Every structure is written in C-alpha cells, then in structure tokens.
Amino acid sequence: MRLSIFSRLVIGYLAVFILVMAVSVYAVVQLRHFNRTIRSILEVNNLLADYEKRLSDSLFSQIRYERKYIIIKDSALYDQFLSTAGDFARSCDAALAVADTPQKKILIRAIRDRHAGYRALVQQEAELVRRNSSYPQLWYKEEKQRKVEAITEELRKLKSVYQQHTYERIKELRASGDAAAGVVAAMALTSLTIGIGVAFVITRSITRPLSVVVDKTREIAKGNLKSDLAVASPPEIGELSRAFNSMCKKLSMLDKMKSDFFSYMSHELRTPLASIKEGTNLLLEGVGGEANERQKRLLTIIAEESNRMIGMVNSIMDLSKMEAGMMTYDFAPADIAPLIRKAAEEAELLAGAKQITLTVEPLPALPEIRLDRERIMQVLRNLIGNAVKFTPYGGEITVSAGLVAGSIMVVVSDSGPGIEQENLPVIFEKFQQAPTADTGQIKGTGLGLAIVKHIITAHGGRVWAESTPGQGSSFIFVLPVS
C-alpha cells in the first residue's frame, strides 16, 4: 500500500510530536521546581529587600523630621514624624507576614520593638518641647542615637540574612539547572536525531518523485514534449505525472499548430504584401501609363505603408518565434566593431534628412565573441533607428563601445526629449511604449525593443535604458566575452 503525502506528513509530524512531548514533559517538571524556587526568591526575599529599603528610608525620614522639630518647633514636622513612624510600623507588620524563617521573624520583631522604644522617646521629648520645659537634651539625643543605631544594626542583619538566603536558593537553582540541562540536552539530541531521520525519510520519499517531475519540466522547457513521465508514488504525484503526460500531448499538438500558423503567416501575409509593393513600384516607374503628380504621391504613400506593413509582419513573426523558443541563432566568433560601423552607416541617410549628427566614437580593440551577426545587426539597427526617430532636427546621436568588467558594452545615446523614470521599466515589453517627455506622443509598433531584449538575452547579455527628461536617453547592452 502506497501512503499519500498527507499520510506520510501526519506520521512524520506525529513521531516528532511524541518526541517533543517527551522532552516537554520533563522540562515542565523541572520548570515547576524552578518556579517554586524563583517564587520563594521573588515573593519572600525580594519583598523583604523592598521592605528593608522602605524601613531604612522611613527611619532616616523620621530622624530628619524629629530633629527639625526639636530645632524649629513646627508641629507640622512632628505630624510628619508620626505619619512616617506609622508607615514604619505597618511595613514591619507586612515584612513579618511574608518572612519564611524563624530567624527573619525574630529580626523583624526586634526591629519593631526597638522602633517602638525610639518612637516613645521622641514623643516624650516632643511633649517636653511643647510645654517649653527644661530637660536634658543631650541625654535624649544620645538615647535616640543609640536606639537608631540598634535599629540600623538589626536592619543590616536582616539584609544579610535574606541576601544569604537568596544566594543559597540561587546556588541550589543553578545546580538543579545544570543537572536538568544535561538531561534535556541528551533527550533533545536524541529526539533531534530521530526527528531528522524521520523527516529525511519522509521528505526524500516526496522530493525524489518531485525531482523527476522538475526534470521533466526542464525537458518540456527545452522542447522535449514526449509524454513518458512515469511516477507512481506518492499517489498525488502519480496523478500529477499523468496530468503532465496529458499536457505534453496537448503541447505537441499546439506546437504543430503554431508551426503551421507560422508557415501560413509567411505565405499568406508576406506574399500579397510583396505583390502590393512590387505593383506599386511598377506603377511609379510608369508601367501601365504615366501617372500624374497626385497619383505618384498616393502611390508613394502606398509603397511606404507596404514596406511598414512588411516590417511589422516580420517583427511580429520574429517576436512570436522568440517567445515560443523557435528562433534559431547562428552563433560564431565575430568582432562586433564592424557591425556597429555598418549599422551606423545604414542610418546616416535618415539621420542626415533630419540634420542629426550621428557619431561613432573611436572603437578600441575588442575581443571576438560568439554571436549571431544578423541578430546583433538587428539589435543595432533597432537601437540606432529608434534614436534617429526620437531625436529632433539638429540633434546628436553617439554610438560607443568598450570592454567593461569582462563584457563588451555598447551604448547608443541621443539628445532627444528623454523618457520619464517611471516608464523605463516597461519600454522593453512588447506593445509597450513610453510617451516622449516633450510631446507625450508614441511612435512605432512597440516591438523593436522587445525583440532587442530577446536577442540580447539569448546571447547571455543584458539590456537597459537610462534617461533624464529633457537631456536625452542612452540604451545600453552588454555581451559576455566568454
């Protein structure tokens, strides 16, 4: 019985889940122990530390208030003393409630009792001050100092006790943590090893047939449409392989239909257009009778439009073949410099008609590269032709080439209106054109740059455009040397 992908994943996840649960249960047990210890530290020792600080601060506040009262005899200061003394007593009761050892309780009671003696002594002195009675101030001062020192000493002992207790708890926690870490690490390593093994077996049983499907997909991309994919397990991928085989059969049929379409296009469109062009030329030459000026102008327009239609048909067919992967290339070692000069010479007449200065910068010695001469000429004609088309009268076009980072770079720059930045990414897509920056008008069919991109990509290169509106554009392509 072949398990489905879902069943395999469920089994794998279940195995990993059981292993994780085993580690988790042990970890929970240890965490509960840690939690109890940490709770003891937080709920007892940390609270005692807080109360100890409150008591110390309160004691110093009381000393400050009672001394000021003795000097300036302001009853508000005595009221502050009493309020602070009450807070001190309440803090002692609260600390006594959370103390968890007899030693801590004894120290807190001692602090409370000593503070009561200090408070009573201050009250006695305050009563004498209110009556303006004569009393031994030095004795009261020394007695209060002894009681404050006694309270301070008890607070110091309390602090030492809870700090020692905290240290012992942390030490105990560290020992338990080290032991638990060793056990958890061993369990985790074992679980991880088993989990990886299970995951590998399940993943391999899924990815191996998928890799077969991927290889078949690559073959289809290269044009191999044989319906010979056979994968039985898992069942879902077996179903996918049968769908692939069905797709390959239909693609083979579509491929034949496309070939027949190209043949039809070549014969049924090119032939009548060529006949129209030739008939128009014959009429312009006077065959069939001399034409008047108006008729010659009309025939000239027909001839130009016929040429444009033939060019469009050729462009559409070339682009369709490139997109279908049916375009053939004749790669051979060649020097690109003569091709650049030839393409520029062909465009000089059209550039001269617009009084455009077309300049080919001195070309350095460039290495030969593998290229299809006719297709690269098509690229150069398209780029230079576009530059001439979009450059206004009296403008300038510059063609340059050089060796950059192990590749040959060719740049066609013009002084035309330029292209907006947001339009640069789309101009190499078929039927996509950017309006010129000055007029917003679109010229041409929108196929030339798409063909350029396909040809350069087929040569292993890259093409892009750079432009600043109002300052012209540069179209750049690079071809690898090796």
Distance CA(341)–CA(361), nearest Å, equals 10
Among candidate residues 327, 325, 323, the one with its CA nearest the CA of residue 220: 325
Mean pLDDT within 445-467: 87
Report the Cα–Cα distance between both ends of the chain, in Å, rounded. 53
Q: Which of 161-175, 263-277, 400-414 has the lowest mean pLDDT?
A: 263-277
pLDDT greater than 60 at residue 406? yes
pLDDT per position as a tens digit, 216-270: 777 766 556 666 676 766 676 677 777 767 777 777 777 667 656 655 665 566 6
**CA-CA distance, 311 to 305, in Å (whole number)?**
10
Beta bridge partners, 408, equal 403, 479
**Residue of 86, 104, 90, 103 lying closest to 49 (CA atoms):** 104
Q: What is residue 437's predicted lDDT score, i.e. its pLDDT?
A: 46
Element housing 333 (H / E): strand 332-334
Q: How confident is the model at residue 442 (pLDDT cuts 50, 70, 90)?
A: very low
Most confident of 55-69, 188-202, 323-337, 442-456: 55-69
Does 2 have pLDDT greater than 50? yes
Distance CA 6, CA 371 (A): 50
Task: State the Cα–Cα distance between residues 465 and 401, nearest whole angstrom.
Answer: 15
Chain position carrying tokens 């002894």: 146
3-class DSSP state for residue 252?
A: helix
Both tokens of 285, joined, read: 């030459």
Q: Band of the pLDDT at 271, cuts 50, 70, 90?
A: low
Q: What is the pLDDT of residue 435?
A: 60
Q: Which residue has the tokens 């994968």?
A: 231
- Tell how strand 462-467 and strand 473-480 pair up: antiparallel
| Pairwise CA distance, residues 421 & 469, whole Å | 8
In degrees to the nearest 10, what's the CA dihedral of 211, 212, 218, 221? -130
pLDDT at 441 over 90: no
Query: From CA 216, how far away is CA 121, in angstroms rounded?
Result: 100
How many CB atoms within 10 Å of residue 139? 10
Answer with the residue of higher pLDDT: 80 or 243: 80
Q: Do the Cβ atoms of 229 and 247 come closer than 8 Å?
A: no
Does the pLDDT of residue 464 top 60, yes or no?
yes
Check if the beta carbon of residue 91 is closer than 8 Å to that of residue 51. yes
The rounded percent of the chain whose pLDDT value lies above 90 is: 29
What's the mean pLDDT in 43-48?
76
What is the SS3 assignment for 464? Answer: strand
Peptide bond into 234 cis (omega under 30): yes
149 falls in which pLDDT band (50, 70, 90)? very high
Tell me the C-alpha distance between 104 and 11, whole Å. Answer: 57
Mean pLDDT of 363-375: 92
Quick one: tokens of 383?
């780029």
Q: What number of residues does the chain have?
A: 482
Among the ranges given (1-10, 157-166, 193-202), the one the predictor scored with the smallest mean pLDDT: 1-10
Angle, CA of 248, 254 and 260, to the nearest 5°? 140
CA distances 177 to 29, 35, 149, 169, 183, Å, are 12, 12, 41, 12, 10
Which of 53, 147, 155, 60 has the alpha carbon at shortest distance from 104? Answer: 155
In this predicted structure, what is the pLDDT of residue 256? 65
Calculate Rg over the CA atoms of the chain.
48
Q: Give the Cα separation of 360 and 341 in Å (integer).
A: 7
Strands 369-371 and 332-334, bridge-based pairing: antiparallel
Q: What is the mean pLDDT of residues 425-431?
A: 78
What is the Cα–Cα distance from 29 to 255, expressed in whole angstroms?
67
The answer to whether residues 347 and 358 touch, using CB atoms and an 8 Å cutoff, is yes
Q: Of 281-285, 331-335, 409-413, 465-469, which gets the smallest average pLDDT? A: 281-285
Exposed, middle or buried: residue 397 (CB in 10 Å: 0-12, 13-18, 19+)?
buried
Residue 436 has pLDDT above 60, yes or no: no
Q: Compare 193 and 292 and report the one with higher pLDDT.
A: 193
